[in-house]
């Protein structure tokens, strides 16, 4: 395993080394020690490697990740895995605001709670949160799946497009154009797979969740819906 002391060698040296891993490489196991809340740790990685960050991270850890599996052995600051393309990011602790924002692919697992705007503007990413999520989560979410084993805060799925939201606990309120939808067999199957990949299959059953999605009332402007915006 390649061990990288962020406190000693610095962010630029870390990301430079990770970006140099192009295509197939046998340097597949990395650990980052002394992260001490630094920003942009392992941002822009594009290689099938495993990176363990031993501690908590600042903003935008694993930003725009492609292919890599990144485990954070602590909590993550705002915008973790923002715009992720593929790969997996797993956070042992909690995640701050905007977790998985605009993510286009891959899997983000948060084993603690996530703050507000989790999955904002998501575009294909799968997000599994073992705990609860804050207000305005999945705002303008376009596609992908958000799974929450705990509760959701205010205005879940406001101005939602085609993303699917699954919440096991309570939802404080639904945002504009977000409605509860029927759980059909294909959703149960999808959820079972997401729970398994999200390391949560022993924690909850698919049948315990409710599904939320877009009512599609705001897809084309209608003056009679103006008060919904």
Q: Which residues pair with 76 in a beta bridge?
A: 57, 95
H or E segment at 178?
A: strand 178-181
179 lies in the site for other proteins, by CB under 8 A: no
| Residues 111, 147 contacting (CB under 8 angstroms) | no
Give the interface segment with other proteins, choosing from 60-68, 145-153, 171-179, 188-196 (CB under 8 A).
Answer: 60-68
Cα(38)–Cα(98) distance, rounded to whole angstroms?
17
213 lies in the site for other proteins, by CB under 8 A: no
| String marking each residue 147-166 x if it binds other proteins according to CB under 8 A | --------------xx----
Distance of closest approach, residue 56 Cβ to other proteins, in angstroms = 15
- Region 110-149 residues binding other proteins, contact defined as CB under 8 A: 117, 120-121, 123-124, 139-140, 142-143
Of 2, 34, 37, 39, the one binding other proteins (CB under 8 A) is: 39
- Least Cα distance to 33 among 66, 55, 13 occurs for 55
Distance of closest approach, residue 147 Cβ to other proteins, in angstroms = 19
Q: Which residues pair with 70 in a beta bridge?
A: 51, 89
Cα(134)–Cα(105) distance, rounded to whole angstroms?
22
Give the Cβ contact number of residue 229 at 10 Å: 10
- Residue closer to other proteins by CB (options 100, 206) is 100
Distance of closest approach, residue 18 Cβ to other proteins, in angstroms = 10
Count of residues making up the chain: 229
Q: Which two tokens stand for residue 25?
A: 């490489």
Cα(37)–Cα(61) distance, rounded to whole angstroms?
10
48 lies in the site for other proteins, by CB under 8 A: no
Instruction: Point out which residues bind other proteins (CB under 8 A).
Output: 11-12, 15-16, 19, 39-40, 43-44, 46, 58-60, 63-64, 66, 78-79, 82-83, 85, 97-98, 101-102, 104, 117, 120-121, 123-124, 139-140, 142-143, 161-162, 219-221, 223
């Amino acid at each position: 395993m390649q061990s990288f002391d962020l406190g000693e060698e610095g962010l630029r040296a870390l990301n430079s080394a990770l970006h140099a891993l192009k295509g197939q490489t046998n340097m597949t196991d990395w650990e980052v020690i002394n992260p001490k809340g630094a920003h942009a740790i392992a941002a822009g990685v594009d290689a099938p490697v495993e990176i363990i960050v031993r501690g908590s991270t600042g903003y935008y850890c694993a930003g725009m990740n492609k292919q890599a599996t990144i485990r954070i052995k602590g909590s993550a600051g705002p915008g973790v895995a923002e715009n992720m393309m593929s790969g997996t990011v797993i956070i042992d602790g909690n995640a701050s605001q905007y977790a998985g924002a605009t993510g286009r692919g891959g899997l983000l697992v948060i084993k603690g709670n996530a703050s507000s705007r989790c999955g904002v503007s998501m575009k294909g990413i799968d997000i599994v949160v073992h705990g609860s999520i804050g207000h305005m989560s999945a705002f303008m979410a376009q596609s992908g799946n958000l799974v929450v084993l705990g509760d959701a805060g205010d205005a879940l799925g406001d101005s939602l497009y085609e993303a699917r939201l699954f919440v096991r606990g309570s939802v404080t309120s639904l945002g504009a154009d977000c409605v509860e939808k029927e759980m059909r067999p294909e959703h149960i199957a999808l959820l079972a797979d997401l729970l398994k990949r999200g390391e949560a299959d022993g924690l909850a059953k698919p049948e315990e969740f409710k599904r939320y999605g877009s009512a599609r009332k705001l897809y084309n402007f209608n003056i009679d819906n103006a008060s919904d915006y």
